[in-house]
Amino acid sequence: MECKTFDIAGPVEIIPRKLGDERGYFTELFREDRFAPLAGPIRFVQENQSLSARVGTIRGLHFQTHPMGQGKLVRCAAGAILDVAVDIRHDSPTFGQWIAVELTAEKCNQLWVPVGFAHGFCTLRPDTIVTYRVTNYYSPAHDKGMAWNDPAVGIVWPDMADAETLSGKDRVQPLLADLPHYFSVKD
């Protein structure tokens, strides 16, 4: 298992080693002993799954505010996504910067999105299933978002990204500049 960090401190990509044989493969998806030195001690309390039928489906960008902040460990159970995390900690040296990782079902790679980051993805294949474990329970009162296409952030989405697929709430999410200071690096 390889754990990759980024120029933006916080997110981690986990790339597991797949052990193939005549039956298929075996892989360790998660090991706390490898992950905790990079991400700190975490405890997952909820696991989510979504199916997106259409290629180019965009979900996000989402986050939960304190005290219900959610770290998310995201992977594709079927298909592929471009998974994106944006640093929205107002006092971070990388505030407003983003990282993107292609997650695929074959590679079994995962992205850790810490509290203080907005998260979203675009599906790269039809019938893509995304599963993610989170460190806090869903709380509609703390569930917030920001615009997926904020020009000040400038996420480079795949050409197939299709704004027609956005949910009602994601069509009207605010710009980063209009968000309150929800998160700090000192949290």
| Dihedral sign for Cα atoms in the order 158, 162, 165, 169 | positive
CA distance 83 to 134: 15
Contacts with ligand TDO by CB under 6 A lie at: 48, 50, 59-60, 62, 72, 119-121, 138, 167
Q: Is 62 a catalytic residue?
A: yes
* CB of 10 or CB of 60, closer to ligand TDO: 60
Least Å distance, CB 47 to ligand TDO, is 10
Which residue is catalytic, options 90, 119, 132, 181? 132
Q: Is 132 a catalytic residue?
A: yes
List CB contacts of 172: < 8 A, sequence separation 6 or more: none
Least Å distance, CB 178 to ligand TDO, is 19
Least Å distance, CB 24 to ligand TDO, is 29
CA distance 120 to 101: 11
Report residue 24: phi and psi, to 5°: 145, -120
* CB of 31 or CB of 169, closer to ligand TDO: 169
CA distance 160 to 140: 30
* CB of 37 or CB of 102, closer to ligand TDO: 102
Query: What amino acid positions are annotated as catalytic residues?
Result: 62, 132
